Amino acid sequence: MAEGVTAQNEPRIAKPPATLLVIFGASGDLTSRKLIPALCNLAEDQYLPENFIVIGSSRSKLSDDDFRAKVFEGVQKFSRRPISPAVWERFSKNLHYQPCNGEVLADFELLKQRMESLCASSEQRFNYVYYLAMAPQFFGPIASNLREVGLIEEYSSTGRRTSVVVEKPFGHDTQSARELNECLRKSLAEEQIYRIDHYLGKETVQNILVFRFANGIFEPLWNRKYIDHIQISVCEDIGIGNRAAYFDQNGIVRDIVQNHVLQMLSLLCIEPPISLSDAKSIRDEKAKVLRSIKRMTPVEVRENTVRAQYARGSVSGQPVVSYLEEKGVNPGSTTDTYVALKLEVDNWRWSGVPIYIRAGKRLAKRITEIKVFFNRAPDSLFKGRQVGELEHNVLSIQVQPKEGMSLRISSKQPGPRFKVRPVEMDFTYDNSFGVASPEAYERLLLDVMKGDPTLFTRNDEIEESWDLLAPIFEVWSSKDAPPVLSYEAGSWGPQAADDLLRKNGHSWSSL
């Protein structure tokens, strides 16, 4: 931020038009932990529409007051900052509840009546946003019933924008993702579907585009001539918690790599879009990156992938059980809790640049980071003065837990000796801008209300990402599948993951 400019005196952003938000699955964890706290923070910052209504909906029989009390507990516990009593009082007046079974058409007639009744007191036309905070098998029936009762409208004919937000997992493989896309498109136009990936709402992920295209010193270097390799790490120190039923059927590749990792990779490797205000152009370029990633042969799957499960160990000094001992996990499960991959974007810009990915549970610490390793400078000038090779310049983009960026450069060590050593130039959002980064759901909910799909995943991106991983799943499920290795909880993964990089002359960077 420029000197003398503060968040307090910047121009206010335009508020979205009047919006009615219906949250299906409103009695679930996501609503209390993320959605309502995010909306309250938007209200605290005065970003919500002047006319804004929320209707929570699920099978549970709750009154408006019951629902308000339930979600207020979530706001107190999970909001990133305290919400003032005055803001909560104003916000909660527009917070309502309507029971609805997603598969019963008559319930949608009652929902429609409630929506029309709540909107009747205003002369403004409300846009409708439906947030499907539930399992994918309910997406189709809910969309179909909404259309059947006239709650999904075409903007061109009514002037009302209707948007449907769906959570991951979006499919289990290529075929199921296509079927889910086709199911939704029976009731919705593609532009009405917002497939949410909360990683795309994180400030540092959004900043990738600004960093690349607003800084003249990096974009000329952003190609195979100057970049040696890239590492993307999504590491968690937690286990699977109460998600055993879901996780044991999916594993870390489906849970993390197919969505979060590949979305970050596509932004990192994107070609310049027509404009950063052109959502279609950005999504077109992201899809091109995913389409360009080389599909592996069975031999390459065995050479370039490592999968493993955590064994007993200790995390932060506390002993933890193995994956197979977690409650709800099949004792004979071969589900991956760790994966290491070597990928390559096979296009003109990136051909020959290895992209290494690692993701896992019960690792040494929680961190999500992208590291871009630039080619080493020739060391001929330093012969006789420098011991060993000069180190890579490394750009580090930390997504969580502390959002920021750093650049490792080489500098002369102080003193009479001519000794070169690496130093870090870095910034974090809280130190540099003086304000805490908003939660990802705050930005994404605001974008939906504005009708901006830039940070949401399009149907072809989803299908390309599943298509990319299909050869891996096929080999891993075959009779002669490579073994599921073991790693100690609290470590950085199995030795085979280190070997994957070592055979290419690289090593995992410390985190």
Helix (H), strand (E), coil (C) string for 280-292: HHHHHHHHHHHHH
Which residue, 150, 167, 184, sits at the end of a domain?
167
Q: Above pLDDT 70, what percent of the chain?
A: 95
The crossing angle, in degrees rounded to 10, of helices 139-148 and 174-185 is: 10
What pLDDT shows up at residue 11?
A: 53
Residue 423 within a domain = yes
- For the entire predicted model, the pTM comes to 0.92
pLDDT at 342 over 90: yes
Residue 113 within a domain = yes
Instruction: Please tell me whether residues 323 and 433 are part of one structural domain.
Output: yes
d(CA 356, CA 9): 42
Q: Collapsing DSSP states into helix, strand and coil, what is residue 103?
A: coil
Instruction: Please tell me whether residues 135 and 204 are part of one structural domain.
Output: no
Instruction: Please tell me whether residues 29 and 162 are part of one structural domain.
Output: yes
d(CA 388, CA 391): 9
**pLDDT category of residue 2 using cuts at 50, 70 and 90:** very low
Residue 368 within a domain = yes
What pLDDT shows up at residue 387?
A: 53
What pLDDT shows up at residue 4?
A: 35
Instruction: Please tell me whether residues 133 and 227 are part of one structural domain.
Output: no
pLDDT at 411 over 90: no
Looking at residues 315-342, what average pLDDT do you find?
95
Instruction: Please tell me whether residues 159 and 204 are part of one structural domain.
Output: no
pLDDT at 62 over 80: yes
Which residue, 167, 188, 209, sits at the end of a domain?
167
- Domain residues for the domain of 252 are 200-437+481-502
Which residue, 147, 167, 187, sits at the end of a domain?
167
According to DSSP H, which parts of 375-437 are helical?
429-433
Overall number of domains in the chain:
2
d(CA 161, CA 112): 16
Q: Above pLDDT 90, what percent of the chain?
A: 77
User: Poorest-confidence range of 157-161, 286-290, 365-369?
Assistant: 157-161
pLDDT tens digits, 428-450: 777 767 666 789 999 999 999 99
> Considering the chain, what is the average pLDDT of its residues?
91
Instruction: Please tell me whether residues 117 and 262 are part of one structural domain.
Output: no
Domain CATH code at residue 87: 3.40.50.720
Instruction: Please tell me whether residues 134 and 244 are part of one structural domain.
Output: no
Looking at residues 321-350, what average pLDDT do you find?
96
**pLDDT category of residue 385 using cuts at 50, 70 and 90:** low
Looking at residues 249-269, what average pLDDT do you find?
96
pLDDT tens digits, 449-486: 999 999 999 999 999 999 999 999 999 999 999 999 99
Instruction: Please tell me whether residues 310 and 352 are part of one structural domain.
Output: yes
Instruction: Please tell me whether residues 288 and 159 are part of one structural domain.
Output: no
What pLDDT shows up at residue 5?
A: 38
Does 179 or 427 have the greater pLDDT score?
A: 179
Instruction: Please tell me whether residues 325 and 211 are part of one structural domain.
Output: yes
pLDDT at 419 over 80: no
Instruction: Please tell me whether residues 117 and 237 are part of one structural domain.
Output: no
- 3-state per-residue secondary structure call for 223-248: CCCCEEEEEEEEECCCCCCCCHHHHH
Residue 429 within a domain = yes
Decide: 299 and 472 in contact? Cβ < 8 Å. no
Residue 470 within a domain = no
**pLDDT category of residue 14 using cuts at 50, 70 and 90:** confident
Tokens standing for residue 297: 């042969």
Residue 465 within a domain = no
DSSP E strands in 324-429: the ranges are: 338-343, 355-360, 367-374, 394-400, 404-412, 420-428
Residue 1 within a domain = no
What pLDDT shows up at residue 10?
A: 53
**pLDDT category of residue 412 using cuts at 50, 70 and 90:** confident
Residue 141 within a domain = yes
Taking CA 56 as the corner, what is the angle to CA 50 and CA 57, rounded to the nearest 5 degrees? Answer: 145
Catalytic residue set: 260
What pLDDT shows up at residue 421?
A: 80
Instruction: Please tell me whether residues 90 and 238 are part of one structural domain.
Output: no
